[in-house]
A and B are shown apart, each in its own frame.
Chain A
């Protein structure tokens, strides 16, 4: 996988998305530079998830441009998605297949080389080598999450998009995810995370964006404690409003 030179990892310009009568995103423009670790904060329904999904191109915006590593997503959705790793609350795994079969399927789907080696390495990294050949229906939640993380990293993505990734994780899986994110950020790659959780995985965040009612309301760069207090205030100001 070649890494070409690009400065802008994710760029969306004037993006609007409405669902029927509801406006989910309104004139959102934001650029995530290469190497940034950006966190999106906001209430439920503020548009954080929608924004991530517009970037991953599983939601098509009604208006506006989306670029990933300089590529127009509309022209080349496949190449754009190849650069992305997406981790959400769901594991995207297949219950009746074994861990190995699951990973094999994804390496095949992603058109990766050295499939068997990658699968083996991934299983080893998340500590599931021993249970790799039984259907994952018997896996504990923590084991499933670990496999989900393995799945997300199979193709060495440049950019990580995370949508409330820590919700429902047990401690072991949460630590694994946080460790991986840290390493990912340290190697100069880009992370964009939407979250409610102000406890996990926030080491190395350099930009904080507050979203409300489909708009970017505020952006902060600064110490975690300052941002945390400001966010709490932000929520208090909007307490009682429907989003």
Chain B
């Protein structure tokens, strides 16, 4: 409990710092005129995307470990990572759209990054759907671990394939690489936000895993109660 509390405080503090940096410290984007303030959503967008990738990595890692060791704890970690990945991913997609429209005039473009990110998000949803439709808990863990590994290996390949495809069929790219030509204050703000989001991710992950473990305990107790309740003495 204690470590959770200190993590909570750390998260809170960092997010405050990040918010300050985003809204007050970072300069307004000059080249975009009066709507330049909208650009600030960029910090949330990039950080959300980063967190999604982080989550996917943990799905991958925990899936492999689960196949090797078979403990419920690893299964919990993989599943909750996927959940958080989906949420941060949705946030990333939405913030990206909100940012793109006023500045570039389009809601969406099928450039390599956006396309592969969208696909990653769909894969994470697919992973969760898979978990929902398997009834046996042991199988659920194993099957989603296998899918998690296949999908995680696939994601960078999808990105590369899209990139190579796009070099032949160029399309508008929203915000050339992240950090291309960012002024120092903005770069610093981005770093702070990414760190804050990372810590937030770990905090939420910890909470969610704890929730899952509690759920398991409750289930076990329920089963024991059932057994004892029916015993004829």
Is B179 close to A, CB under 8 A? no
Contact partner of B227 among A21, A239, A241, CB < 8 A?
A: A241
Size of interface on A: residues with Cβ below 8 Å to B = 10
Is B172 close to A, CB under 8 A? no
**Distance (Å) between the CB of B215 and the closest chain A CB?**
10
Q: Is A240 within 8 A of B136, CB to CB?
A: no
**Distance (Å) between the CB of A53 and the closest chain B CB?**
13
Contact partner of B230 among A19, A21, A240, CB < 8 A?
A: A240
Q: Digit string of B58-78 for contact with A (CB within 8 Å is 1, else 0)?
A: 000000000000101000000
Q: Which residues of A contact B70 (CB under 8 A)?
A: 62
Q: Which residues of B contact A241 (CB under 8 A)?
A: 227, 230-232
Q: Is A21 within 8 A of B231, CB to CB?
A: no
Q: Is A20 within 8 A of B137, CB to CB?
A: yes
Q: Is A21 within 8 A of B136, CB to CB?
A: no
Q: Digit string of B219-231 for contact with A (CB within 8 Å is 1, else 0)?
A: 1100000110011
Number of A-B contacts (CB under 8 A): 28
Q: Which residues of A contact B136 (CB under 8 A)?
A: 19-20
Q: Is A242 within 8 A of B137, CB to CB?
A: no
Is B138 close to A, CB under 8 A? yes
Q: Which residues of A contact B231 (CB under 8 A)?
A: 240-241
Q: Which residues of B contact A240 (CB under 8 A)?
A: 230-232
Residue of chain B at shortest CB distance from A62: B70
**Distance (Å) between the CB of A238 and the closest chain B CB?**
9
Further 4 A-B residue pairs, CB within 8 A, beyond A20-B140, A242-B230 = A19-B137, A21-B216, A62-B70, A241-B232
Q: Which of B103-140 contact A (CB under 8 A)?
A: 136-138, 140
Interface residues in chain B, defined as those with a beta carbon under 8 Å from any beta carbon in chain A: 70, 72, 136-138, 140-141, 216, 219-220, 226-227, 230-232
Residue of chain A at shortest CB distance from B141: A20
**Distance (Å) between the CB of B218 and the closest chain A CB?**
11
**A62 to B68 alpha-carbon distance, docked (Å):** 11
Q: Is A20 within 8 A of B226, CB to CB?
A: no
| Interface CB pairs A-B, < 8 A, 28 | A18-B138, A19-B136, A19-B137, A19-B138, A20-B72, A20-B136, A20-B137, A20-B138, A20-B140, A20-B141, A21-B72, A21-B137, A21-B216, A21-B219, A21-B220, A22-B137, A62-B70, A239-B232, A240-B230, A240-B231, A240-B232, A241-B227, A241-B230, A241-B231, A241-B232, A242-B226, A242-B227, A242-B230
**A229 to B202 alpha-carbon distance, docked (Å):** 60
Q: Digit string of A172-185 for contact with B (CB within 8 Å is 1, else 0)?
A: 00000000000000
**A62 to B141 alpha-carbon distance, docked (Å):** 14
Q: Which of A109-164 contact B (CB under 8 A)?
A: none
**A20 to B144 alpha-carbon distance, docked (Å):** 13
Max chain B Cβ within 10 angstroms of own Cβ: one of A20, A62, A241, A242? A20
